[in-house]
Structure 1
Amino acid sequence: MSACCSRHHRVLVFDFDGVILDSARLKRQAFADLYDDEPEESRRAVAAYLNRRGGQPREVKFRHIEGHILGREAGEARIQALCRRFKASVEQRLLDAPAIPGALEFLNRWQGRLPLYLLSATPEPELRAIVERRGLAGHFLEVIGAPPDKVTGLRNLLARRQHAARDTVMIGDSYNDYRAARSNATLFVGVTADPASSPFPNDVVTTVDLHGLEEALGRL
């Protein structure tokens, strides 16, 4: 076993969109498309918010967009209707989305040698269905979606599996992933295709894709 994944880096917890599948941008676009009939200034504000707020449940995003950006009351029926439209829009695109470069190779190399988990803000039934249909389920000991939020989901995973935080690495592409790791005192590797626009503090270890993950883990 290589040094990058030996003794102190034994447990790996992966985000899904933008880490395993190259799907983060298509999801942001699907959110934005639901507001195509809004004025241009509002559309720009929605796009800016979505670029900042990866890794959150879609209900949280829709409530923020409706209430704080568009300034209108949005009841639960409206939020759930938006969620249904979003799900219908992205379902086939997620099945067709390419994997992040190096992701499948890494999973194939380390499956069965390290505990690998998937933790996403996608609703768990949808996440499990996509993971199954993409043939990825066998790589992970658990596939964990929302609810709860990622901070709580990671905390529950550590407790349930009795993994030490110091032996656990969260691998994500959003500040929300980084916050989940920090809140639970785990290690973290950021995945950012464009380091110049990284959402992470300067001292965070990052990689542009999963071809570089083993090297990044070795720098922790």
Structure 2
Amino acid sequence: MGAKPKIENIIWDFDGVIVESNSIREKGFRAVLATFPKDEVKALLEFHRENGGLSRYVKFHYFFEEIRKENVNDKTIKIYAEKFSRIMKELMTNKEILIEETVSFIKSNVEKYNFHIASGSDQEELRFLCSKLGISDNFISIHGSPKPKNEIVKDLLKAMAYDLSKTLLIGDAINDYEAARANNIYFMAYNTNRSLMAKSDVELKFRN
């Protein structure tokens, strides 16, 4: 990958990049899992913080199978995921959670780049939230789970026939970095830890 690529297409993560929602997501997991032991919920929240880009479906599977050592079927996971989604729809429609410099950059550059969202959040919920937050029109498409982010990005790149050397993924989790690498596109870390920031290929200035 070249030092100064000409970026035309930008794929955005959602949580932590467009909205400041980590504390809200944690509140949701606590509410949905309120009947389980606190130490087990704490272990799930630690996994959630370390794997921000993974979907809630993966996290609920992890909770039951790895933390509680229980067999769980997809029907049960779906029930917990839907409970979680209902809470998110109640708590995440306040525009105060929007990250100002990100949204300002997006709105100021919507004619310059092709913008998309690829998130670990549930797709139906994600599109609902983007509509409620008034940002949907800035994106050509908005994609979420249960499909893994690697696949979301792969399918998007194929559908749009984008030049990989002109495409950038912006995220705040190691899963975002891995999705960019798996699909041979550029990666930029944002609003995250120093070790992941060091993996950025490109540095866009959100502020003048």
TM-score (norm 2): 0.87
1:44 alignment counterpart: 42
Which of 21, 24, 30 is the matching residue for 1:23? Answer: 21
Q: Does the Cα contact within 8 Å between 1:11 and 1:114 map onto a contact in 2?
A: yes
1:83-139, Cα deviation, whole Å (9 max, x unpaired): 121112211211025111302210111012211111112222221111112111110
State the Cα distance separating 1:182 from its structure 2 match. 0.7
- Cα RMSD over matched residues? 2.2
Q: Which runs of 5+ in 2 are unaligned?
A: none
User: How many residues are paired up?
Assistant: 202
1:83-122 pair list within 5 angstroms: 83-96=81-94, 97-122=96-121
Q: Does the Cα contact within 8 Å between 1:168 and 1:186 map onto a contact in 2?
A: yes
Q: Does 1:60 align with 2:55?
A: no
1:178 alignment counterpart: 177
Identify if the C-alpha distance between structure 1 residues 11 and 152 changes in structure 2 by more than 3 Å, giving closer, same or farther. Answer: same
Secondary structure of 2:126 counterpart:
helix
State the Cα distance separating 1:206 from its structure 2 match. 9.1
1:134-158, Cα deviation, whole Å (9 max, x unpaired): 1111101111122421111111111
1:53-93, Cα deviation, whole Å (9 max, x unpaired): 11112111101111101112222332122112111221121
Structure-2 separation of matches of 1:40 and 1:128 = 32
Structure-2 separation of matches of 1:93 and 1:40 = 22
Aligned AA (1:80): K
1:129-148 pair list within 5 angstroms: 129-148=128-147
The percentage of aligned residue pairs carrying the same residue is 22
State the Cα distance separating 1:183 from its structure 2 match. 0.4
Q: Does the Cα contact within 8 Å between 2:13 and 2:171 map onto a contact in 1?
A: yes
Identify if the C-alpha distance between structure 1 residues 42 and 148 changes in structure 2 by more than 3 Å, giving closer, same or farther. Answer: closer
State the Cα distance separating 1:34 from its structure 2 match. 2.7
Aligned AA (1:93): L
Secondary structure of 1:160 counterpart:
helix
